[in-house]
Structure 1
């Protein structure tokens, strides 16, 4: 074994890589790797799908293979071209490009022909029972199912009925086609599953050409086979479906991909159910699929998350076969780490408190060079105006500070970031409310740039904005949408929506920002110094900008939870 310290460490692996390595070593699939990402176009993708996207496309890249994007569009009543378009946008935003764009509906005719082949082989039959009867006849985990009278229909009769189903002779629910497997099988999915149903519905691609649609389980494996997929990777809940996947392919004698299951992503304080996300949208609890509180890729993109952060997050959490819960902190740290390297710094004040520098010349303005990003010297610097009247953060002043408070207070000096050292001389109060409305301060002209030539120590540095030059801005502070860590722990008898956090969105209507942000485009990401990372929202207008808080500088949420807040 080599001990050469210059030898780079082996690339991180996971159990799926190990399976593929075994297949390549044995010559299975001829050493080829061809994956696919197969979403149903019935909603917007969420963070859990991002993990699957990164996995499938990442495997193809690692092995020099291919990855398809295929829409499993077998349920026309729930699908829409809006979802098709959004999914393509999400995949590209994450940084991936598919080798082929396909739809299960591309294969409807071939899949139908295989259904007829199953009938001809005596492995499928038309059942005229109601869906309630079929459910009742399926049995339980401790009792075998019951074969009904339709199971013994002849091949001729089944073919005739199936073809008439396709021709549109029957209404929805009149008949279904079932695979004839084993009504006593311990895996209930193999107790003659329904593989076709009548549905007189307009399809977003095939129009009204079909009124007979394959079930997802039936179309999925056949679509994989047609495309030459080598490794059909899906989440762990489909492990129980794998015997049916295998049976359907083997029953018609076609090319057989390998299905592999991995644990899906579960994130604290987050709901990942498409059905529940749709309910939030339809009930107008959120503003839409791209509400920045939503875990959809559209939502996190609008909030200001970066593709690189999402890819790093998916790499960090890894791929396992064991269901678990990932702390939201892991995701937020990935976002912080990426934005810390890439986001320019600006100064902004969320809760403005006015300062008047009484010894600064009236009407004078000067500019200071402020470094854009201390983590990236190539980012350069910007000019920020300074004047007699400033805004500071209200939380940076206390009239009667405790011992560990080192920011501004009466008689105390602080350093203004990049500018001067100032001293608070007087706090002006509203006579009616007693609220402090203005601070009268003096500045030390010998401390330009924040330096102290006499060597005196200044314990605190605070940010500021020049009042005459400040941009009045709306800032939206986002926190987790739910107040409970594990939504799966909510009893089914309770309404999960009662656990929505009342503080998931706090709007600050009149924050003050330095003028450098005025010309930035929607999607611009930056760090408000000492406050967090923010992103310019599409609701911005020429009259007023709107910024979304992407993530705090520190894990404030964890602090709140630790305190029991």
Structure 2
């Protein structure tokens, strides 16, 4: 479920058409990102909600073909019931458009495949599933979408998108491409003006498939590696919004360095992020690290390396209270204030017998360890744009 569309009537739709690539966490992660951006729709829609209608439309196309239909209807019925076993896995339903068309997207594209893989929303009810190329235009039309916004890698598929809708006699959906040239003339002869530019980044890739290669080869510590564009720790929504607005409505393809977002973010965060040094008087004599579970209630997630030190850093907003909880309880013994009333330093004593449940403030802290890496270089060392492969 890596695809999610913003549809009509302030809704969002998860395109759960391929059971072999669907994971609930993919959808949840996308929805979390949308909530963070305050861009959550009123309705939660899935393409699988339309499986019955899509199946009926597929049968309608079979009936409408100009060759013998009875055998094809019978075969598709057997595919749908999953009674063909492994032989059925080799069968698929194609749209009869033009096998010799110069546009390869129109060469009888597959619109239905067999699959016995259960889905998390529909279980094992369906033995066949619609392809994205068939389901997307149909459901867009049914939901009342007026304009489909698509990046230009779908350019050759636009005539295919319109063919599906027209063959079924459904309401037309216009397409706006993310393009850099002036106009695009569709197969129907209608000319559309581009409304958007495409943004590329250098020294980074955004493709999930390419990022997966870094994870699989162990070149990064995981999908939460700070060098990945998937890691948003510390990135403010305000910075992201300002960055997008600064690009303007240009129709040119833009190439930006990944650092440009973080440089803008730094200007926003620095005035707010005031750190306070804290000395733990009865803390460890020397800095050391130990393995701790990332989540106590979910040990399967794995461990993390945690540094300990008698000198730590906390945020200014947390520099209050008498007894606080770090990883263990500590009692604040003294504070030093600046002339404007901010806390400049704190001294605490560990209070190991304290009750963490009774303290109001549970504080996040960072050990001042000389061995703790805080800076990361580019994940890709060559000048790189998203459409190229680069090297790690």
User: Considering the TM-score relative to the shorter chain, is it more than 0.5?
Assistant: yes
Q: How far did 1:167 drift?
A: 0.7
Runs of 4+ aligned residues of structure 1 deviating over 4 Å after TM superposition are 319-322, 345-348, 487-491
CA deviation vs aligned residue, 1:86-122 (integer Å, no higher than 9, x gap) = 1111111122221221111111111111111111111
1:179 aligns with 2:95: yes
The structural deviation recorded for 1:286 is 2.3
Which residue does the alignment assign to 2:69? 155
Q: Please state which structure has a larger fraction of its residues in helix.
A: 1
- Is 1:384 matched with 2:342? no
**Match for residue 89 of structure 1 among 17, 32, 37:** 32
| Aligned match of 2:212 | 278
Distance change (3 Å), C-alpha of 1:198 and 1:338: same
Of residues 237, 244, 268, the one that matches 1:338 is 268
Structure 1 residues 78-157: aligned runs within 5 Å: 78-122=21-65, 152=67, 154-157=68-71
- Residue 379 of structure 2 corresponds to 481
Aligned length: 302
Residue aligning to 2:284: none
Closer, same or farther: CA 489–346 of 1 in aligned 2, 3 Å: same
Q: Distance in 2 between matches of 1:177 and 1:489?
A: 32
Q: Is the 8 A contact 1:236 1:321 kept in 2?
A: no
Partner residue in 1 for 2:176: 260
Separation (CA, whole Å) in 2 of partners of 1:342 and 1:234: 38
Contact 2:336–2:343 under 8 Å retained in 1: no
Cα distance in 1 for residues equivalent to 2:388 and 2:34: 32
Structure 2-normalised TM-score? 0.68
The residue number in structure 1 matching 2:184 is none
SS at match of 2:255: coil
Contact 1:94 1:308 in 2 (8 A): no
Query: What SS class does the counterpart of residue 126 from structure 2 fall into?
Result: coil
Instruction: Say which one has the larger Rg.
Output: 1
Shift of 1:317: 2.3
Secondary structure of the corresponding residue to residue 214 of structure 2: helix
The structure-2 alpha-carbon separation of the partners of 1:277 and 1:319, relative to structure 1 and needing over 3 Å to count, comes to farther
Aligned mates of 1:342, 1:368 — CA distance in 2: 17
Q: Work out whether residues 230 and 258 of structure 1, in 8 Å CA contact, stay in contact via their aligned partners in 2.
A: yes
Deviation at 1:320, TM superposition (A): 5.0
Structure 2: gaps spanning 5 or more residues: 179-196, 279-333, 348-365
1:219 to partner: Cα distance: 0.7
Q: CA deviation at 1:156?
A: 1.4
Q: What CA distance in whole angstroms lies between the structure 2 residues aligned with 1:338 and 1:258?
A: 39
**TM-aligned CA deviation for residue 291 of structure 1:** 2.1
Q: Check whether the contact 2:201–2:257 (CA below 8 A) recurs between aligned residues.
A: yes
Q: How many angstroms apart in 1 are the aligned matches of 2:22 and 2:199?
A: 24
* TM, length-normalised to structure 1: 0.49
Post-superposition offset of 1:290: 2.1
Deviation by residue 1:454-495 (Cα, 9 ceiling, x = unmatched): xxxxxxxxxxxxxxxx9545452233211112156867xxxx
Which range moves more in the overlay, 314-323 or 176-185? Answer: 314-323
Q: Secondary structure at the match of 2:61?
A: helix
| Superposed CA offset, 1:50-75 (max 9, x none) | xxx9xx6xxx9xxxx84322111111
Equivalents in 1 of 2:144, 2:21: separation in Å?
A: 28
CA contact (8 A) 2:201 2:255 kept: yes
Structure-1 residue corresponding to 2:255: 325
Distance verdict in 2 for CA 1:471–1:195, change over 3 Å: closer
SS state of the match for residue 259, structure 1? strand
Aligned to 1:193: 109
- SS of the equivalent of 2:30 reads helix
Q: 1:489 to 1:80 in 2, by over 3 A?
A: closer
Matches of 1:220 and 1:107, distance apart in 2: 11
Sort the Cα spacing of 1:199 and 1:183 in 2 relative to 1 into closer, same or farther, 3 A: same
